[in-house]
Structure 1
């Protein structure tokens, strides 16, 4: 049984096929990258995986469990977390508070019991301490200690992207979807994010599925790369295999020489 498998996935918008028979597998604990030109169907695929869209046909399975047709919150409970290209943090809340939002799936305290949290020894108090400890571990892992009590809206862009990664990790995902995690970053911020993504793989064991336009990043960190164009897979393999594929450069960058385009 494959860890994560997509089979014959199709999605239509009117008469346009955004996804057309897409299929692939992601091994556990790996970094799997998705590349392709604008309009290739990359974000549509992510939206199908985490339940924002319901595909017209096909199957999406995580550890043998079907995700297709389930609501986003149910898919999150099954072990899929996601970040977005545009930062979706609560800007007036602190770093710790944003990470605690990622722990809501594990919280059992209801509105009434939470509203009357009498001390650390109460059930709600014990639960609060437990989840704050989990969030603190992520703050240390991602080296965010200096920003712990600060509102995230005033933090540098690269730090905000790191916080968003931390919030997704707070859900303890088996698979994390990263939609252009390095978009809008300068060179130093990109290098830092690459380090963080590698840390996620090595320290937490989560599989990473990312969309990224920066080919240097893709070739550096990926175990496998999938290339899509017009909703269809063009090539899949190791970074070296994809880079050498005769159709990839033309499909992705409209060029004839893959060595020139993807070096």
Structure 2
């Protein structure tokens, strides 16, 4: 078996390996060239440090890797490990993991991260074998949310760029990779304040518009309540975008986040469950 970097492969080879690698997976992840390239750029994935396994001239497995500074530590993210169906259980995933860990060592990574579908016990066991531990339960939610306001409140929001979030003293930088401001530079961000001008929460989100120029849905990447905020403030947050019932979805929200429980109690349902896993590198 030969392992090459994505930068040494053609786009056709890489895309074929990715799509074959997720055939029959818990969640179908089939991409065309445009979507794949946008993902590489948008999520900071490195073609030079992502790898493809070949059996002779046939690409049979892939790992995409990204690298960032998070909370002052060099952090890696396994943005997807896929193995062609006919090669699963034949040692390809182990070979890719060993090469991936070696890359992390060479790149002086301090914390390695990834997410796995909760039901994918085989993958979770593999990652645990290589030193990863489960740190968080993550939820994808979706459903209709009605931002009806029970009582008025002196809450005002400030629109900021996603790039400004890490400069806020209360911003929590350690979030799942795809929820970070770096992965959502084309998104929108707001900080909310009470009548005393104390910060009570913030959101990172994307508004999707339909052909008629109306809001089709809202995708939430972060919704955090601060010490001076509470879950009753959430309708005010959403009403700053629209005061009509709206389809809403969350990406990798922590199950432990009070906002997650509130949204589940008010119209959203669990669509996918993942675990976040981390490995402290030596």
Name the TM-score, length of structure 2 as normaliser: 0.29
Structure with the greater relative contact order (CA < 8 A, sep ≥ 6): 1 or 2? 1
More strand by share: 2
